[in-house]
Amino acid sequence: MRITKSFAETREASSGTVGLVPTMGFLHEGHLSLIAAARRDADTVVMSLFVNPLQFDRDDDLVRYPRDLERDVALATAAGADIVFAPDVEEMYPTEQLTRVNVTGLSDELEGPKRPGHFEGVATVVAKLFAGIRPDRAFFGRKDAQQLSIVRRMAADLSMPVEVIGGAIVREKDGLALSSRNIFLAAGERRAALGLSRGLMAAADLVEAGERDAKAITNAVYFEVGDALEVEYVTLADQDLVKPLTTLDRPAFLALAAWSGKTRLIDNVHFDPDDGGFVGDRGTRLDTASVLYATGEG
């Protein structure tokens, strides 16, 4: 395992095909599943770890974002990473970042209006990672559905020679989608948050039973969540352009954002064409507690 700080050092330490897993650290099994996928698919596995100030729309979120390099290096190594690229902000942004990447249209809905500037920050930093590391394949989680669509489109539109691969959502034992921010949830907030995944699973059941009406599909989520959380949106959108659908008639995802206390959570189910119908990607579930909650030696 090598820890690198610069793009040049990272390229020098890489050989053969390169698989990149971009993260903001404080790793959990969602990140580790992407590293494992990269390990199966590439000669050199690079995990980048950078809490990107450009993509935070709220200062308090940036300040309280959890960070622990030593812990992340140990977990990434065990999962099969060869290199952890952990640049400082000065390394990533040595001068003012005047060049910005905007994938027009794809951030108009869902997270876009709620988090101004967020996707520009994401697309810009991912473009820099692709240019600086030159991966053959890059792995992103379906957890951030809109982000995955945006990165895919950016790579295609800018003729970037990288294959963008999406990985299934990894969930905790009780269904809650893993997120580094889950550590902030108090017990009651966490219990309330379970309505989100329950609602998405119910919606997936409906779709697989033949439902195609977006209203009926989104209502299944509202029904499970009740008034336990402050829901920002529940939207069925197409995977390609991230536009809301009234009818499920193409590859899509049902995505939501909600607040449980002071923690903002997002989750989704992707609907992929299958045998003339659609199948819901419910993700995978851990059968033990997440490494997020491991303390001390554990």
Catalytic residues, by residue number, are: 31
The nearest distance, CB 248 to ligand AMP, in angstroms, is 23
Closer to ligand AMP by CB, 214 or 237: give it: 237
Chain centroid to Cα 257, Å, comes to: 13
Q: Is the dihedral of CA 55, 232, 61, 140 positive or negative?
A: negative
* Residue among 247, 193, 246 at smallest CA distance from 221: 193
Q: Return the bridge partners of 263, or none.
A: 260
Contact in structure between 121 and 103 (CB atoms under 8 Å): no
H or E stretch covering 137: strand 137-141
Q: How far apart are CA 58 and CA 39, in angstroms?
A: 34
Closer of 178 and 256 to ligand AMP (Cβ): 178
The answer to whether residues 266 and 176 touch, using CB atoms and an 8 Å cutoff, is no
**Strand duo 277-281 + 163-167: pairing:** unpaired
Nearer to ligand AMP, 34 or 242 (CB): 34
Cβ closest to ligand AMP, residue 177 vs residue 234: 177
Smallest distance from ligand AMP to CB 246, Å: 27
- CA proximity to 255, closest of 152, 102, 106: 106
Q: Which is nearer to ligand AMP, 34 or 54 (CB)?
A: 34
Given the DSSP bridges, would you call strands 277-281 and 263-274 parallel, antiparallel or unpaired? Answer: antiparallel
Q: Which residue is nearest to ligand AMP (CB)?
A: 141
**Which residues of this chain interact with ligand AMP, rule CB under 6 A?**
23-24, 30-31, 33-34, 140-141, 143-144, 167, 169-170, 177-180
CA distances, 225 to each of 97, 212, 220 (Å): 41, 21, 9
**Cα separations in angstroms, 141 against 133, 135, 146:** 19, 17, 10
Q: Which is nearer to ligand AMP, 27 or 229 (CB)?
A: 27
The amino acid occupying position 166 is G
Shortest distance, CB of residue 178 to ligand AMP, whole angstroms? Answer: 4
